[in-house]
Each structure stands twice: as structure tokens, then as C-alpha cells.
Structure 1
Amino acid sequence: MRLVSHLLAGDIPGTSRTLTAHVWGAEGARPKVYLQAGLHADEMPGMIVAQHLMDRLDRAEAEGRITGEIWVVPVANPIGLGQWIAHKPQGRHEIESLQNFNRGFPDLAALAGDRIAGFLTGSEEKNLASIRKAFAQVLADLPRQTDIADLRLTLMDWSHDADHVLDLHCDHEAILHFYASPLRPGDTATLARSIGAELVLEQEVSGGNAFDEALTAPWAALRRRFGADHPIPAGCFSATVEYRGQGDVADDMAAEDAARLMVFLGAVGALAGEPAPAFPEAPVLPLGAAGEVFAPQGGIVLWRVVPGDTVDTGDVLAEVLDPVTRRRLPVPATTSGVVFRIELWRSCLRGQSLAHVAGQEILRVGHLLSD
């Protein structure tokens, strides 16, 4: 194993932070698999899974079973990890700018499209290499005027040429699910069957240019632009894996999740000697069909369901109690399907998002990700 580090110099004098990647396998070996945890730095489940995964990769390396190149960034956001207010972590948004750390990654297709136009050929393999080279060049040219810009560009530097990318997150309270592009359904099924996902939410463009989408959407955009004359592959499979909820932090659970990630690494050819994926295929539903429900008034949320429950349209998911007037108002489901996430806090503001139900009917278009 080797370490790759990058210094975030600090936006004010006397401050700096370091991004560190742990890398197993020969440099340049394929497939390259990149995993990171803690981009939303107040989410701990992915970070503890990464710890157990690194232990397993150390043992696999000692046994000579690393066949690809595997990158693990256990703390992808040291900026957010250090943000606390009143003894509560604030790792989702940068405090100074209020930018979501997992939004606003560069649009590689827009930046590199003109650059690659003259280099495409009739060979998909050569085009893959040319596009990855162009991605590296435009990333190198972009300014790093702030630490958050430097953070985003460094994570893209490390991952833009990967064959498979997993961004490990969690929700408030949720089932194990992940978000993926529809471009490589075989890999989507392999990941779901490896890690035991209960749900997959698919969307080519969700809005906001989150990290995982910034690595997959460019290939689709370049295929639309050049695919009639040149073969453009879906050069990267990337997914945001939601390791259940904020409170699901335990060694035994994380160790099992790490073992399942090893199965995925074996299935894609980065490891030898791992068992085949054994879980059943998860339902794959469009992200735009995830029905969102909102608080009808401020007050106390009294849940009638838990993540994983199946509901019908109109079923009461919760009641919101106004403790002053004693009025209770229902929160009905807007679609039929599976409740896959609910809010952590039991207090709410009027109009606040409270839960999502994964259904079949498209309900939303445009920007589909919460901020």
C-alpha cells in the first residue's frame, strides 16, 4: 500500500489540511476502483466502513490478491470534518460560502469537449484514453482559488480516470440504497447484489453536479455530441452509496459492509479470491419517481412508519403535533412504494421535507437532489 497526499494550503494564513488516499495495487493497473468516504463530513457510517475495508485490503495485499488498482480516501473532506457549531458537526455545507460539499463539481464534458474533438477515432479504446487524458488536462488548468475548489479538483484528479467509483454516504434514517446512472446497468446490478442494497435510484442527470454524477454524466454528454461518428464508451461507473442512517455506526455492521465491498471489488476484477455476489437484485427505480412529503405545520413529528415500510398513496406516514394548540395534522404519502428515508430530527418547520417514498410514477423533473 502507498499513500498519496495533497495539501490544502488554507484560505487564511497559518491554516492547512491534508487529503490522503491509500492505494493498493500497481500504478496504472486495471481496473482502477476509487472509493471515498466523508465528503459530507457529518456522516460517519461510510468512514467506519472504509476503516474496515482498508484492513481487509491490507490482508489481501499480503496474500497477493490485488489485481487492479484500488484507491480509498477515508476522509474526503477534512474541511467539513473540522466544522462544529455549539458541539454539533456541520459537515454538509461549507460554513463560509454555504456551498454543499457534494455539489458544484466541474462539468468535464463542457470543459473538454472541444479539446477532444480532433482526436477521436473509430476505436473505442483509443477514444477512452483520449477522453481521460483531456479530462486530466482541463482539471489541471482550472483555478484553485479556495480550499473548497482545491478539494473538489483534487478528488476529481484522483478519480476521473477510474473504471469504478463509489462515494460512501448515509442519510438521516434510511435503508441501504444507492444512486447510479443508467449507463452501465450491469455494474449497477453487480453492486446491488454485492452489497445487499435494498433499493437503487437511477438518473442520468439529477442536477447540482454531485461528485458521482460529475464522473458519469460527461460520458453520456460526449456520446450525444460525438457518438454518431465515433464510438464513445460509458467510461466510468459511479454510485453514491447511502449506508443507512446517521446512527448506524458500529464495528460489526461496518465490518460486514466492508466484506461486501470486497465482493464487489472481486466481481469487477480488482481482487482475486472473493466469492461471487450473492444477494438478490434490488428494485431499480427512477429518482424522479421518489415522492417527497413535507410538514404541514411546525411542531413535533410522530412517525407511523419506519424506513423499509411499503405504503400506498394517501397512507399517513406521520403526524405533526403543534404542542401549543394540540392540533395534529397528517403527513400523507404522495405515491405508492417504499419509504426509503425519513428525517432524523423529531422537530420540524412548516414546509420542511420529512421523507421520501420510492415509487414508479415520475413526479419530479429538473433538480432532484436535496441541498
Structure 2
Amino acid sequence: MRTETVPLTGPSPGTTRTLTRHHWGQAGARPKVYLQGGLHADEMPGPLALYHLMQMLDTAEAEGRIAGHVVVVPLANPIGLSEWLLHKPVGRRDLEGAHNFNRGYPDLAALVGDGLEGQLRPDPSANVATIRAAFGKALAGVKIETEVDELRIRLMEATHDADIVLDLHCDHRAVMHFYASTARPEITDLLGRSTGSVLALIEDSSGGNAFDEAHTAPWRSLQARFGAAVPVPCFSTTLEYRGQHDVSDAVAAKDAEGLLAFLAGVGALTSGPAPAHGPAEEMPLAGAVEFTAPIGGIVTWVMQPGDRVAEGQLLGHVTDPTTRRREDILAPTAGLLFRQELWTTCLKGQGLCHVAGLEIRRQGDLLSD
């Protein structure tokens, strides 16, 4: 195992931060699999699972079972980790500009597209190498204005040439689920069976250029521009490891075993545990619909994440005890109630839960900000 410490420029005089990457296997070996946790810095199930996974990778390395190049960044957001407000971690957005740490990553296809004119050949594998080199050069030339900009670039410097990118998050209260594109459906299937995910939300373009999509969308865009000589060699996903309070060594160790099974399944390890679960149920991200609070008040639930619901079914209530008013939380579509907000109070208009269904109900930007 090799540990790499990447300096990050501090936002003010006398301050610095660092980003730590751990490597197993040889640089240049394939597949290159990158895993990170804590990009939203108040979400800790993923980082704890990666802690346990790294111990398993040490064992695999000692036994000579590392076949590819595995990169682990257990805490991908040193900025967010240090930002607390009123004794609570902020985590999702930076305090300086309120930017979501998981939005706004560089559009690599836009950066390299014109420069690739006349450079590609009929051989798709050769074009992959050419395009990845162009991605790296483009990232080195991106103008960095804020520390969040720098974090985004430093993360992608380690991922732009990866075969597989796993970004480990969690929700407020949720079942295990993940987001993926239509590219590489065989890996989507393997990931569900390895991690025990209940749900896979599928969409090629969800909007906002989140970290995972910033690795698949460029290949689709370049393929649309240059044709079949450009493949889609990268699989990337956001894995939602249940809810924010689902943090324990017992659960994290099981999750690490699932990740180890996935690494073996994609060939990064010569051997490992077999996937222990059935496939995730696949539904369109555009079919996942949010219910927003009709009033502010106290939130109580009748149904829980993982329950199957009919459209219009009672899920819970919002209660204003000052006016003795109570409003129902109703399922906005038929399907799987897969997430709920953590807080027991809400403001009017606040999103409270999501139900995933098969019917397309939304267009445009599909991710909550």
C-alpha cells in the first residue's frame, strides 16, 4: 500500500489542508477502481466502510491478490469536515459560498472536444488512452478560483482515467440504494448484488454535473460527437449507504465485504467473496418523486423507508400544535418509499420524502440541491 498526501491551498494566510489517497496495486494496472467517502462531510457510513475495506485490501495485498489499481480516499472533503455551525456539521455545502460539494464538476467533454478533432482513430482502445490523456491535460489547465474549485480538481485528477468510480454517500433515513447511468449494465447488476442495494436509480443525465456523472457524461458526449470509435469505458455511481445514523462497525464491516466482492467481480482482485445478495430493483430517476410539506410543523411517520406504497397512500403527518392543524403526507407516486428526511420538524415547502416509481414524472434537473 502506498499513501499519497496532496496539499490543498488554504483559503487564508497561514492555513492549509491536505487530501489523502491510499493506493493498492501498480499505477497503470487495469482495472483502475477509485473509491471515496465523505464528499458530503456529514455522511459517515461510507468512510467507516472504507476504513474496514482498507484492512481487507492490506490482507489481499499481502496474499498477492491485487490485480488492478485500487485507490481509496476515505475522507474526500477536508473543507467540509472542518466546517461546523452551532455545534453541528454543515457537510453538504461550503460555508463561504453555499456551494454543494457534489455539484458543478468540470465538463470534460466541453474542455477537450475541439482538441480531439482529427486525433481519434478507428481503434476504440487507442482512443480511450488519447481521451484520458486529454482529460488529464485539461484538468491541469483549469483556472482555480476558490478552495472548493481546487478540491474538485484534485479529486478528478485521481479519477479522470479510472475504469470504475464509486462515490460513497448516505441519505437522512433510507434504504441502501445507488444512482447509475445506462452504461455498463453488467456492472450495475454486480454492484447491486455485491452491496445489497434495494434500489438502483437509473438516468444518463440527472443535471448538476455531480461527481459520479462527471465521469460518465463526457464519454457519452464524445461518443455522440465522434461516433462509435469512442466507447464508454468508465462506470461511476453514487452509493447511498442508508441513513446518517446507520454508523456502526458491524454494519460497516459487512459493507466492506460487499465492496471487496465487487472489486473481485470486476477483476481488481484475483479472488474474493462472492456477491451475497440479489440484484437491485432498477427504476428511472425521473420516476422518483418528492413530497413537500404543505405546512411547517412536527413530522411523524406512519410508513418507513423500504415500504411499498400506492399513490395517495398515507405516509405520515405534519402537525402544527399551535393551531391544532394536521396535514397528511401522501405518497406522490406508486412504488418504493426509499428515503425520508431526518428531522422531526419542517418548514412549509420543505421536501420530506421520496418515492421511486416506474412512471416518468419529472424532467430537467433530477437531483435535489
Which TM-score bucket, shorter chain as reference? over 0.9
From 349, 359, 362, the counterpart of 2:360:
362
Query: Which residue identity is paired with 1:89?
Result: P
Query: Which residue identity is paired with 1:353?
Result: G
* Inter-partner Cα distance in structure 2 for 1:282 and 1:40: 24
Deviation at 1:27, TM superposition (A): 1.3
Query: Which residue identity is paired with 1:267?
Result: G
Q: Residue 110 of structure 1 aligns with which residue?
A: 110
Are 1:221 and 2:245 matched, yes or no?
Answer: no
Superposed counterparts of 1:1-371, under 5 Å: 1-227=1-227, 230-371=228-369
Query: Which residue identity is paired with 1:286?
Result: P
Deviation at 1:144, TM superposition (A): 2.0
1:305 is paired with a residue of what secondary structure? Answer: coil
Matched residue count: 369
Query: Which residue identity is paired with 1:245?
Result: G
Query: Which residue identity is paired with 1:137?
Result: K
Cα shift readout 1:230-254 (whole Å, capped 9, x = no counterpart): 5111121000000000000000000
Percent identical residues: 57
* Inter-partner Cα distance in structure 2 for 1:289 and 1:155: 31
Cα shift readout 1:168-205 (whole Å, capped 9, x = no counterpart): 00000000000001111111001111111100001111
* Inter-partner Cα distance in structure 2 for 1:5 and 1:325: 56
Query: Which residue identity is paired with 1:140?
Result: A
Preserved CA contact (<8 Å) 2:68 2:269: yes
1:345 is paired with a residue of what secondary structure? Answer: coil
Query: Which residue identity is paired with 2:308?
Result: T
* Inter-partner Cα distance in structure 1 for 2:237 and 2:303: 27
Deviation at 1:277, TM superposition (A): 2.2
Q: TM-score, normalised by structure 1?
A: 0.98
Preserved CA contact (<8 Å) 2:177 2:240: yes
1:225 is paired with a residue of what secondary structure? Answer: helix
Query: Which residue identity is paired with 1:340?
Result: F
* Inter-partner Cα distance in structure 1 for 2:340 and 2:324: 23
* Inter-partner Cα distance in structure 1 for 2:219 and 2:287: 24
Deviation at 1:4, TM superposition (A): 1.5
Cα shift readout 1:272-306 (whole Å, capped 9, x = no counterpart): 22133231111111100001101110000111111
Gaps of 5+ in 1: none
* Inter-partner Cα distance in structure 2 for 1:284 and 1:223: 25
Deviation at 1:45, TM superposition (A): 0.5
2:179 is paired with a residue of what secondary structure? Answer: strand
Deviation at 1:5, TM superposition (A): 1.7
Cα shift readout 1:138-183 (whole Å, capped 9, x = no counterpart): 0010012221111000100000100001000000000000000111
Gaps of 5+ in 2: none
* Inter-partner Cα distance in structure 2 for 1:163 and 1:38: 21
Query: Which residue identity is paired with 1:66?
Result: I
Query: Which residue identity is paired with 1:297?
Result: I
Q: TM-score, normalised by structure 2?
A: 0.99
